[in-house]
Amino acid sequence: MSRYLLAFVIVTAAATGCGDVPGPVVIPGPTAPSRVTTDQPLVWDSREELLEWVANGVTRGPITVEGDGAAAFIRVKLDLHDYVMRGPDLGPPAEGVRGARLRARLGHDRPRAPQAAQTEDFHLYFEVINPHVPNTQSSMRIGVPPSEGWVDLELEPALYCCLQPLTVKYVYVPFRSTSPATREIDRIELTK
């Protein structure tokens, strides 16, 4: 018992000899500055606008923009790895955001067993100013079934999101699948 007491005294003496410990240093994460002005506020629908979500220093994974002009879309090749797509920094931050809409489709790269999940969830996470619930991240999600054609999706609030309007600095979308699949996104919109 005396060895533990001696160790405690030594550690306590060493800690008091260190003086004041400085506060933590916060290192800001990477940014995704916006390079284009969208045709419609808070709507990304053309090749140039969708590239804001793909061609930045934060987005990682097999995520590309295919096609030209208004026919362009984002393609995400999913496997068992984690990927992320980060929207552009909104300057100034978008006030009054209550929801989101996507035009998207999902294709399985190989057949799934009938008892396996056929849908994939889309999640959007919002970096906001003054979150309504401290220490939480506002998010929305929706399950997407496989489809040959584009499906218009209205995302549902989750984790206390959008009970009150949000002031959004940026949005990011994580991707993961339990089986190879391809997600494609034709349009992204934040709604008020």
The closest alpha carbon to 119, from 167, 170, 178, 61, belongs to 178
Digitized pLDDT (tens) for each residue of the chain, 192 residues in all: 566 666 666 666 665 555 566 677 767 677 888 888 899 999 999 999 999 999 999 999 999 999 999 999 999 999 889 999 999 999 899 999 999 999 999 998 888 888 877 888 889 999 999 887 777 788 898 988 899 999 999 987 765 566 788 999 999 999 988 789 999 999 999 999
The SS3 assignment for 174 reads strand
- pLDDT attached to residue 44: 97
Q: Using CA atoms in the order 103, 109, 115, 119, what is the torsion angle rounded to 10 degrees?
A: -10
